[in-house]
Amino acid sequence: HLLKGFLSWDVSDCHVDLEEELNTITQHAPEGEEARHGERLIQYASENLVTEVLIHPQYNTLIQCMRNLLSSFTRHRHIIHAGYTFSGNGSWILQDGTFSVADFSEAFQEHDVQRVIRAYADTITMNIHCADAGLWHTLPEKAFARQCRIRINPVDVLDTSSECINGFIDYLAPMVMPTSLRELLETSDVVGNIRFTHPTLYVFPGGQGDAALFGINGFNMLVDGGFNRKACFWDFARHLDRLDAVLMTRLNNSNVQGLGAVVSRKRDAHVYPQIGHFFGNVPDRKGLPSPDGDKDRDPLLIDLFERGHGIVSDLKALDLKPQCCYRNQEPVNLYHKVGHGTLDMYVISPARDSKEVKEFLQKWHAGDQRLFAARDSRDFNFPLQNLVSICALLVWQPANPDDTITRILFPGSTPDFKIQEGLEKLKHLEFMKHSTCTAKSIAPAIQTVTSTRKSLKSAIEATPAPPSASYKTTKFSPVASAALAVQHPQQQDNKAKEAAAAAAAAAAAAASAATIARAKADSMDTDAEPEHEADPEPADTGDEAAPTEQEPEAETEPEPEHEPEAEQDKDVGEEKKVEVLIMKPQQATPAVIAASGKDGVDAASADATPTGKLSKASAKGKADKPRAEVKPVVRSRIDTKPPKSMDRKLAKRDEKKSSPTTTPAARAPVAQNAKPKVLSRPATKSSPSSTPAKSAKEANNRK
């Protein structure tokens, strides 16, 4: 291509001997300036010719040199492109982008360029040598080029055996160094994973293309691969153990080389990172061109059909099949972890049934070169491959409702009106209605019924009830929590019945195993306290008014000469009641059955001491289960300040309890250990209603 470009130089027209000028440059052999990634610029000026040589240039470098050339006060301009070209639209492939006919036209219409052309109208000539592809042949017909003469790929004038031209080409040859994929995409010995603490997006310099890596803890996704053949993300991704997902939004000039090079590199050798899943609308072609038909084709032409098919073939070799992405109401779930969050991908465009998709697939399978060709018209037309580009919305919804929902839109090359059309389909989603939102801020109020029930229950429990007649406030009154439990017997009648029924069932089950103990306790109870027989059990009979009927009896019950002691006994009974409520009836029954010897007699005599007044209070308060903090308070009262009258009363009642089954050896320990047994009552946790003596007494009352 370089030699072909020099041969069209007409000395008679330009009045400059090109061979002599090139020989002068070859003798001086300037090395020029080397920039990043192998870019080199060589400039040389003589009295007759200004020469600029660009090797592997970037887009900005070429466009600046082109503007300088077009705006220079020279009579003839000679442009030679001897690099790779896309066959569809004829764009020149640079290091980080393409230089198309549209870019040249834009530079040609700048004010400085047009000023020079108008000043030397019809005298300026321009030769452009490039691949015969695309719309370069349409430049001479443009309106802005009518005041100068432009020729595309003119015929040869010079001889091909010129030593000066061949010497200049040999001078430039060592500076043009082709690089293999193995050298461009080197592997790394350091491979691992990244622990993301929050959603993170890495954006790589993809030139005219784009490349980004989205990552959360446990998942990462690569979106596109950039323009350059040396993938812009490779220096970062080669240290990763795995790419969980790869999204290729479109197949066009700006995106095919980066991902294509990486997939080809992985096919040639096992290199990291591994690829988990591949998304892309790159279907496998049904009809493939024959290998014999490509012999005469220019090796510097890049065919997007071949590149697309090459990507599909390389993915097959890696056991990967591209998954097509079309607009759908339901998202594609990419990642979900309980307690961490969910990552979904909403495909905004294209629609499966759109005419653009149908046309693209038809031309793709037919191998129609017009698919990637530019359209020459006055109105701006989007390339078809851009109309079918994937536009995806990634939505990260963390499990913590207070964390912000992350939304990232990857438009690809989708036109604006296609993006708006797709977003209109998602306007019903709650997280699309706010600029910033959390799951807590957009969640509907679904706890109305539950909160209403809880508030109603708390209001009922907080309502104070009138104090019972059997309860008298004394200086030995229980603490506030225990007193509140005594003052609300009527609120828990149903629970009291259930607890009493459970206690009765447990006592009946234990009766067959403790017949002797029940008879002994029955005789002791009838001898010591006959007044208990007149007291009905309200919980056993199921009569709700029973506690109210027993209140006068509790007030008029005779008590020996110490009334303060009776009040203290009542307090002790109330404390016992609270203590009994803490334990389940099923646990109290085995404790009584297991008692034997001295402990069994002590337990039986201690259970017989509560009077009818205490039994009534226990039946009332049994339903109200105290909170966990009530028990320590009651224990501290009994341990620290036991009432003296209790000791005296226990001693008197033990003396009265004479029974044929009671031996003197068993009575003596009772009198001696009466006080310690009272102090250790909170530890035994035996319920009066669940003892054999109490069960026998209740059976007699029913008879």
Tell me the whole-structure pTM to 2 decimals: 0.62
Three-state DSSP at 238 gives coil
Q: Cα separation of 701 and 526, whole Å?
A: 11
CB half-sphere exposure, 46, CA atoms < 13 A: 13
List the structure tokens of 509: 């089950």
Q: What is the DSSP string of 456-524?
A: HHHHHHHSPPPPPTT----TT---HHHHHHHH-SGGGHHHHHHHHHHHHHHHHHHHTT-HHHHHHHHHH
Question: Are 81 and 130 a contacting pair, CB within 8 Å?
Answer: yes
SS3 annotation, 376-437: CCCCCCCCHHHHCCCEEEEEEEECCCCCECEEEEECCCCCHHHHHHHHHCCCCCHHHCCCCC
Question: Are 196 and 214 contacting, i.e. CB atoms less than 8 angstroms apart?
Answer: no
Using DSSP, state whether 149 is helix, strand or coil.
strand
How far is 431 from 586, CA to CA, in rounded Å? 54
The CATH architecture that domain 188-287+297-431 belongs to is 4-Layer Sandwich (3.60)
Taking the C-alpha atoms of residue 238 and residue 182, their distance in angstroms, rounded to an integer, is: 13
Task: List average pLDDT for each run of 10 residues in the chain, which is 703 residues long.
Answer: 86 87 91 86 91 93 94 91 90 93 91 90 90 87 86 85 88 89 91 91 93 95 94 94 96 91 93 95 70 66 90 94 92 94 95 92 84 63 86 95 94 93 92 90 57 48 46 42 40 56 62 48 44 42 41 41 44 42 42 40 40 40 44 45 47 45 46 44 47 69 78
Return the structure tokens found at 472.
């008298």
Residue 273: predicted pLDDT: 95
What are the residues whose beta carbons fall under 8 Å from the beta carbon of 355, sequence distance 6 or more?
A: none
| Cα 251 to Cα 162: distance, rounded to the nearest angstrom | 43
Rounded to an integer, what is the distance from CA 410 to the centroid of its chain?
A: 18
Per-domain boundaries in the chain = 2-175, 188-287+297-431, 462-702
Coil, helix or strand at residue 546: helix
Can you tell me the distance from the alpha carbon of 621 to that of 578, in angstroms, rounded to the nearest whole number? 8
Cis peptide before 536 (omega within 30 of 0): no
Of 701, 468, 656, the C-alpha closest to 577 is 468
Contact call for residues 139 and 104 (beta carbons, < 8 A) = yes
pLDDT at residue 624 in the model: 46
Burial 205-244 (b: 16+ CB within 10 A, else e): ebbbbbbbbbbbbebbbbbbbbbbbbbbbbebbbbbeebb
In eight-state DSSP terms, residue 8 is: T
Report angle CA 432, 203, 272 to the nearest 5 degrees: 115
Task: Assess whether the previous peptide bond of 350 is cis (omega < 30° from 0).
Answer: yes
Integer Cα distance of 155 and 8 in angstroms:
6
40-60 b/e (C-beta count within 10 Å ≥ 16 → b): bbbebeeeebebebbbbbbbe
Displacement of CA 491 from its chain's centroid (Å): 48
Contact between 618 and 689 under an 8 Å Cβ cutoff? The reply is yes
